[in-house]
Amino acid sequence: MGALIAANDLVKAFPASRSLRDMMRGQRPVLRAVNGVSLEVAAGRALGIVGESGCGKTTTARLLLRLEEATSGSVLFEGQNVSALRGAALLPFRSRVQLVFQNPFDALNPRFTIRRSLAEPLRNFGVPPDQQEARIREAMGRVRLDPPEAYLDRHPHELSGGQLQRVVLARALVTHPRAIIADEPVSMLDVSVRAGVLNVLRRARDELQLAAIYISHDLALIRYVCEAVAVMYLGRIVESGPTAEVIAAPAHPYTRALVAAVPVPRVDQDRGDLPIRGGLPDQLNQPSGCAFRDRCPLAFARCAEEAPPLRAIAPGRHAACHLA
Give 291-320 pLDDT, tens digit per residue: 999 889 899 999 999 999 999 999 999 999
CA distance 32 to 56: 9
Q: What is the spatial distance between Cα 256 and Cα 273, in angstroms, rounded to a whole number?
A: 7
Residues 307, 166, single domain; the answer is no
* 119 belongs to a structural domain: yes
Residue range 65-85: mean pLDDT, rounded: 93
The residue type of 245 is: E
Average pLDDT rounded to a whole number, residues 156-162: 94
> Quick check: is 276 in a domain?
yes
What confidence score (pLDDT) does residue 48 get? 97
Assess whether 196 and 307 both reside in one domain.
Answer: no
Boundary (domain end) residue, out of 177, 211, 226: 226
Is there a single domain that holds both residue 44 and residue 96?
yes
Do 100 and 186 share a domain, yes or no? yes
297 with 213, same domain: the answer is: no
3-state SS class at 31: strand
Average pLDDT, the chain: 89
Compute the average pLDDT of residues 117-138: 96
User: At residue 253, does pLDDT exceed 60?
Assistant: yes
Number of domains in the chain: 2
Show which of 191, 226, 261 is a domain's final residue: 226
Q: Is residue 262 part of a domain?
A: yes
Mean predicted confidence (pLDDT) in 184-211? 89
Name, in order, each residue with C-beta under 8 angstroms of 223's C-beta and a sequence gap of 6 or more: 243, 244, 247, 264
Over residues 45-73, the mean pLDDT reads 94
261: in domain: yes
Q: Which long-range contacts (CB under 8 A, 24 or more apart) does 116-123 make?
A: 117/156, 117/167, 117/171, 118/152, 118/167, 118/170, 118/171, 118/174, 120/171, 121/95, 121/171, 121/174, 121/175, 122/174, 122/175
CATH number at residue 32: 3.40.50.300
Neighbouring residues of 218: CB distance < 8 A, sequence distance ≥ 6: 50, 187, 262
Tell whether 166 and 204 lie within a shared domain. yes
With CA atoms as reference, report the closest residue to 228 among 39, 34, 1, 47: 47
**Same-domain check for residues 43 and 102:** yes
179 and 303 both lie in a single domain: no
Percent of the chain scoring above 70 in pLDDT? 92
Pick the more confident residue, 195 or 252. 252
76 with 10: CB under 8 angstroms? no
pLDDT at residue 271 above 60?
A: no
At 152 the pLDDT is 97
d(Cα 236, Cα 37) in Å, to the nearest integer? 6
- Where does a domain end: 182, 208, 226? 226
**Is the model's pLDDT at 284 over the cut of 70?**
yes
22: domain range? 3-226
Q: Where are the alpha helices (DSSP H) in the chain?
A: 20-24, 57-64, 91-96, 104-107, 114-124, 129-142, 161-173, 191-208, 219-225, 243-248, 253-260, 301-305
Residues 143 and 33 in one domain: yes
> In the predicted model, is pLDDT for residue 53 greater than 70?
yes
Residue 96 in any domain: the answer is: yes
Taking a C-beta distance cutoff of 8 angstroms, is the pair 115, 81 a contact? no
Cα 78 to chain centroid, rounded: 19
| Closest to 12 measured CA to CA, from 50, 68, 54, 53 | 68
Q: Look at 197 and 265; give whichever has higher pLDDT.
A: 197
* pLDDT of the residue at 30: 80
Between strands 311-314 and 317-319, the pairing is antiparallel
Q: How far apart are the first and last CA of the chain?
A: 28
Query: What global pTM score does this model have?
Result: 0.90
Q: How many Cα atoms within 13 Å fall on the side-chain side of residue 187?
A: 15
Is 241 part of any domain?
A: no
Based on the domain organization, do 222 and 257 belong to the same domain? Answer: no
In a domain, 243, yes or no: no
191 shares its domain with 260: no
185 and 62 housed in the same domain: yes
- CB contact set of 192 (below 8 Å; sequence gap of 6+): none
Question: Is it the case that residue 270 has pLDDT exceeding 80?
Answer: no
Give the amino acid at 149: E
Q: 170-174, 239-243, 270-274: which range is least confident on average?
A: 270-274
Q: Is residue 244 part of a domain?
A: no
Residue range 247-275: mean pLDDT, rounded: 74
